[in-house]
Chain A
């Protein structure tokens, strides 16, 4: 399983764009990059998944360079309710989900 490395914490202010970068140097050919969000005392929630280039949905964008050794989750115009822990995972269709320590995002007014 490819290990992921992401910042422990990040601070931002309402209305700003937040970019969380994740390193996964040992990613395999059939691995996908997946991001989850977790609020306190709740289970994680799937945000977005990608394989390469850029993926966008109503919540976030995911940027993956050609070498796929890193990825960046972009949250446009964050609000206080985006304060949460964000997990980057590298998964394939046969593996269980392995969560790292995640990035604790704190959004200030």
Chain B
């Protein structure tokens, strides 16, 4: 079956713009989590959604937001982009929040110039 699909794979934006990233989980998976990965900070948890509800949120400013749709697809949005938002954004899906095995997508490489 198809894996986790993230679109777009690469994105270049300028400071002050906003961006929306998309994640399609594995079919049947209802839990989606987002992570930001940078060389300096490593893999940092952004938020987790299950059944269209945000279950957990990491320590990121309000400029970072997300949502999950009824088909489990998820989007995350970053407004008023800053240079420091340049990162690899990873989405992970699992059957439900109790499942320890999460499947990650290839990520979206965002560059803010």
Within 8 Å of chain B (Cβ to Cβ): is A62? no
Chain A, range 18-59, C-beta contacts under 8 Å to B: 32, 34, 41-46, 49
Complex: how many Å from CA A41 to CA B108?
A: 10
State the Cβ distance, A35 to closest chain B Cβ, in Å.
Answer: 11
Q: With both chains docked as a complex, state the minimum distance between the C-beta of B102 and any C-beta of chain A, in angstroms.
A: 6
Closest A residue by C-beta to B91? A43
Is B45's CB under 8 angstroms from A98's CB? Answer: yes
Judged by a CB distance under 8 angstroms, whether B104 is at the interface is yes
Given contact pairs A93-B97, A93-B98, A96-B33, A101 touches B42 in the complex (Cβ within 8 A): yes
CB neighbours (8 Å) of A42 from chain B are: 104, 106-107
Bound CA span A103–B68, Å:
33
B33 touches which of A41, A45, A97, A102 (Cβ 8 Å): A97
CA gap between A32 and B88 in the complex, in Å? 27
Residue pair B104, A34 in contact (C-beta under 8 Å): no
Q: State whether A97 and B102 are in contact (beta carbons under 8 Å apart), knowing that A43-B90, A44-B43, A102-B42 are contacts in the complex.
A: yes
Answer whether A45 and B104 are a contact pair too, CB < 8 Å, given A98-B45, A100-B42, A102-B42: yes
With contacts A43-B90, A43-B92, A102-B42 taken as known, whether A96 is within 8 angstroms of B100 at the C-beta atoms is no
Of B56, B99, B105, B106, which one neighbours A96 at CB under 8 angstroms?
B56
- Cβ–Cβ contact B100 & A32, under 8 A: yes
Q: Which 5 A-B pairs have the closest CB atoms?
A: A43-B104, A93-B98, A99-B43, A46-B101, A96-B56
B-binding residues in A (CB < 8 A): 32, 34, 41-46, 49, 87, 91, 93-102
Q: Apart from A44-B90, A95-B56, A99-B42, what are 12 other A-B pairs with CB-CB below 8 Å?
A: A32-B100, A43-B92, A43-B104, A44-B43, A91-B100, A93-B97, A93-B99, A93-B100, A96-B58, A97-B102, A99-B43, A102-B42
7 CB < 8 A contacts A-B: A41-B109, A43-B104, A46-B101, A46-B103, A97-B45, A99-B42, A100-B42
